[in-house]
Amino acid sequence: MDLTLDAARLTAQLVDTASVSGDEKHLADLVETALRRLGHLEVDRDGDAVVARTRLGRAERVVLAGHLDTVPVAGNLPSRLDGTWEDGVLWGCGTSDMKAGVAVQLRIAATVPAPNRDLTFVFYDNEEVDASRNGLRRLAERHPDWLTGDFAVLLEPSDGEIEGGCQGTLRAVLRTEGERAHSARSWLGTNAIHAAAPALARLAAYESRRAVIDGLEYREGLNAVRVSGGVAGNVVPDVCEVTVNFRYAPDRSEEEAIAFVREYFDGCGIAGITVEDSSPGALPGLAHPAAAAFTAAVGGTPRPKYGWTDVARFTALGVPAVNYGPGDPNYAHKRDEHVHTARIHHCEERLRAWLTA
* Active-site residue set: 69, 127
CA distance 303 to 314: 19
β-sheet bridge partners, residue 273: 174
Helix axes 25-36, 100-111, angle to 10 degrees: 20
The contacts of residue 333 (CB under 8 Å, 6+ apart) are 71, 97
Which region holds residue 286: left if phi is over 0, alpha if psi is between -120 and 50, else beta?
A: alpha
CA distance 230 to 273: 19
CA distance 346 to 264: 44
CA distance 346 to 262: 45
Among 317, 35, 326, 14, which residue's Cα sits nearest to residue 163? 326
CA distances from 276 to 93, 170, 172, 243, 291 (A): 27, 8, 5, 9, 33
